[in-house]
């Protein structure tokens, strides 16, 4: 069902129509190409999605932080595409505090009060993703609000963490990434492309992939 949902969503159209080119579609949660698998998510195929989903009469509660960036518009488009494939979608909009709140305060994600959710996180340059998908990282012990647990995945992540040489780490993280694509606890929509407006006389402004715009502040000069 999760993979059929992936085939029902046109991520390329979502990136252009909703995010206006500020989202780069991607199949991976890895920033560094060295740790990416060659496997891919199922491509957009509404006929295949409909063949799988319509007969199952599925209803999903779709949770979003409605005022956060383009969540409301994105949810409407995603819901429309899923409904075209035979899924009934109920969109539930929450404040950011409710949506990302801690489990002990009834946070939507951490309390698993959703079937489908539109969320994001800032991936680190280090390939370790156990803090997001590891069995031990389920709330309140971590960020695994998908409640995904696979001990083979955990073993690959742990093996990769024991190595320092990227060439020795890479096979473990590629295997872990491939497992994520197969199990599909998440459907990556893409990486955010930020837009900056700066003065023409500002020199040395080089935002990095982690969104830390002023990491080289000591080098910035004004003419």
- pLDDT tens per residue, range 106-131: 999 999 999 999 998 877 789 999 99
Report pLDDT digits (tens) over 26-42: 888 888 899 999 988 88
Report pLDDT digits (tens) over 146-204: 999 999 999 999 999 999 999 999 999 999 999 999 999 999 998 887 788 888 887 77
Three-class DSSP labels, the chain: CHHHHHHHCCHHHHHHHCCCCCEECCCCCCCCHHHCCCCCCCCCCHHHHHHHHHHHCCEEEEEEECCCCCHHHHHHHHHHHHHHCCCEEEEEEECHHHHCCCHHHCCCCCCCCCCEECCCCCCCCCCCCHHHHCHHHCCCCCCCCCCCCCHHHHHHHHHHHCCCCHHHHHHHHHHHHHHHHHHCCCCCCCEECCCCCCCCCEECCCCCCCCCCCCCHHHCEEC
Report pLDDT digits (tens) over 68-85: 888 999 999 999 999 999
For residue 66, pLDDT beyond 70:
yes
Which pTM value belongs to this model? Answer: 0.86
């Amino acid at each position: 069902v999760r993979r059929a949902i992936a085939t029902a969503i046109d991520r390329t159209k979502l990136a252009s129509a909703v995010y206006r080119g500020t989202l780069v579609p991607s199949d991976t949660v890895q920033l560094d190409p060295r740790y990416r698998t060659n496997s891919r998510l199922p491509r957009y195929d509404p006929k295949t999605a409909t063949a799988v989903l319509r007969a199952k009469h599925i209803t999903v509660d779709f949770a979003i932080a409605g005022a956060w960036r383009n969540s409301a518009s994105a949810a409407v488009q995603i819901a429309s595409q899923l409904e075209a494939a035979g899924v009934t979608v109920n969109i539930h909009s929450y404040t950011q505090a409710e949506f990302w709140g801690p489990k002990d305060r009834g946070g939507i994600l951490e309390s698993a009060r959703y079937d489908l959710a539109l969320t994001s996180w800032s991936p680190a340059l280090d390939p370790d993703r156990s803090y997001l998908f590891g069995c031990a990282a389920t709330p309140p012990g971590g960020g695994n609000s998908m409640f995904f647990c696979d001990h083979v995945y955990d073993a690959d992540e742990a093996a990769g963490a024991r190595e320092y040489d990227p060439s020795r780490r890479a096979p473990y993280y590629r295997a872990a990434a491939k497992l994520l694509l197969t199990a599909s606890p998440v459907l990556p929509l893409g990486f955010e492309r930020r837009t900056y407006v700066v003065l023409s006389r500002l020199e040395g402004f080089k935002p990095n992939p982690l969104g830390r715009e002023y990491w080289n502040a000591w080098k910035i000069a004004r003419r």
